[in-house]
């Protein structure tokens, strides 16, 4: 059989098309097999990277419950997929999360759970008669930054309360006690470059006169100073001056801070 030139061309085109289709199918099958192999290989690694682990962090410096709750809130905001729980009895945070979550939590706690500086605050309460000092009382307290210290010095005075029972001649009385003397509350925030001091200084005493309501009811005299101040290390600061009613006397309250450790 003789082939014309046109027939030969059509024959070769059909042959080339068949070989091309077979080659394309082989390539597609190879790519599909490669994709399946890559998917099978990447599956275990993905599961491994998302695997969760458990760790307990013990707080060494943040011992107050409100401080621990602040840390817990910070961690929950930074690690929304991790599980965190605060164990108040042990001062610890239990955590379950990925390895990346655990690493980030360690960095956060290293920055936050640091030792706090401790300061000595010396309060000086000076009695003044006009411009002449007549006596000074010094009270020194130790306060950690972020903490609070309370000092009470004085007496507990009994106060009789009660009422008369109409059906009996015996009064129904009870005794309560009130603290009389010096009461100082001091709390610190910030650092040595700018310490913020919240002070409450209260002095009370029993007056000689009676209230007139009952034979045993005392009159309590009280002076109180409360406020916020910014301290500079080693420099005394006058917190305020309190006039004593019925006299020319007044009290000046001064405080100075000193870094202990």
- Per-residue pLDDT 10s for the chain (261 aa) are 444 555 554 655 465 455 445 444 444 444 544 444 444 444 554 444 568 999 999 998 887 788 888 999 999 999 999 999 999 888 999 999 999 999 999 999 999 888 888 999 999 999 988 888 899 999 999 998 888 899 998 888 887 776 656 566 666 677 788 888 889 999 998 776 678 999 999 888 887 766 555 556 777 878 888 999 998 888 999 998 887 766 778 889 999 999 888
Say yes or no: 107 and 122 in one domain.
Answer: no
**Same-domain pairing of 174 and 227:** yes
Q: At what angle do helices 65-78 and 99-112 cross, to 10 degrees?
A: 140
Q: Measure the CA angle with vertex 248, ends 122 and 242; round to 5°.
A: 35
Asked if 229 contacts 253 with a C-beta cutoff of 8 angstroms, the reply is no
Residues 126 and 234 in one domain: yes
- Is 29 domain-assigned? no
Last residue of a domain, one of 66, 86, 112: 112
Residues contacting residue 151 through CB under 8 Å, at least 6 positions apart: 139, 141, 182, 183, 184, 185
Is 7 part of any domain? no
Number of domains composing the chain: 2
pLDDT for 168 equals: 63
Q: What is the pLDDT of residue 162?
A: 64
Instruction: For Cα atoms 41, 44, 49, give the angle at the middle one, nearest 5 degrees.
Output: 125
Residue finishing a domain among 90, 112, 134: 112
| End residue of a domain, out of 77, 92, 112 | 112
Same domain for 108 and 206, yes or no, is no
Does residue 92 sit in the same domain as residue 167? no
SS3 220: strand
Q: Convert 56-115 into a string of H (helix), E (strand) and C (coil).
A: EEECCCCCCHHHHHHHHHHHHHHCCCCEEEEECCCCEEEEEEEHHHHHHHHHHHHHHCCC
Same domain assignment for residues 151 and 212: yes
Full-model pTM:
0.60
247 in the same domain as 178: yes
H helix or E strand, kind and range, residue 245 = none
**189 and 247 share one domain:** yes
Q: Report yes or no on 27 lying in a domain.
A: no
- In sequence order, the 6+-apart residues with CB closer than 8 A to the CB of 249 are 127, 128, 129, 134, 243
Q: Which domain holds residue 132?
A: 118-259
Q: Quick one: 153 and 88 in the same domain? A: no
Residue 19 located in a structural domain: no
If asked whether residues 82 and 126 sit together in one domain, one would say no
Please tell me whether residues 203 and 156 are part of one structural domain. yes
Residue 79 belongs to domain with CATH number: 3.30.1370.10
pLDDT for 210 equals 65
């Amino acid at each position: 059989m003789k082939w014309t030139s046109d027939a030969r061309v059509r024959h070769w085109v059909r042959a080339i098309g068949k070989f091309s289709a077979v080659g394309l199918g082989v390539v597609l099958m190879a790519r599909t097999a490669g994709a399946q192999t890559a998917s099978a290989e990447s599956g275990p690694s993905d599961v491994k990277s998302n695997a969760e682990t458990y760790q307990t962090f013990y707080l060494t410096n943040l011992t107050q419950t409100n401080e621990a709750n602040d840390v817990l809130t910070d961690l929950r905001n930074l690690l929304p997929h991790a599980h965190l729980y605060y164990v108040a009895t042990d001062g610890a945070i239990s955590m379950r999360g990925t390895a990346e979550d655990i690493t980030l939590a360690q960095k956060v706690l290293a920055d936050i759970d640091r030792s706090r500086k401790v300061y000595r605050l010396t309060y000086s309460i000076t009695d003044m008669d006009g411009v002449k000092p007549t006596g000074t009382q010094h009270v020194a307290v130790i306060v950690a930054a972020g903490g609070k210290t309370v000092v009470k010095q004085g007496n507990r005075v009994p106060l009789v309360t009660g009422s008369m029972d109409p059906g009996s001649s015996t009064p129904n009385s009870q005794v309560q006690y009130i603290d009389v003397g010096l009461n100082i509350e001091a709390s610190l925030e910030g650092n040595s470059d700018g310490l913020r001091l919240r002070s409450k200084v209260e002095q009370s005493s029993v007056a000689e006169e009676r209230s007139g309501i009952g034979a045993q009811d005392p009159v309590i005299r009280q002076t109180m100073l409360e406020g916020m101040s910014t301290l500079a290390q080693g420099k005394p600061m006058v917190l305020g001056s309190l006039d004593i009613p019925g006299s020319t006397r007044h009290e000046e309250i001064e405080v100075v801070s000193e870094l202990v450790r």
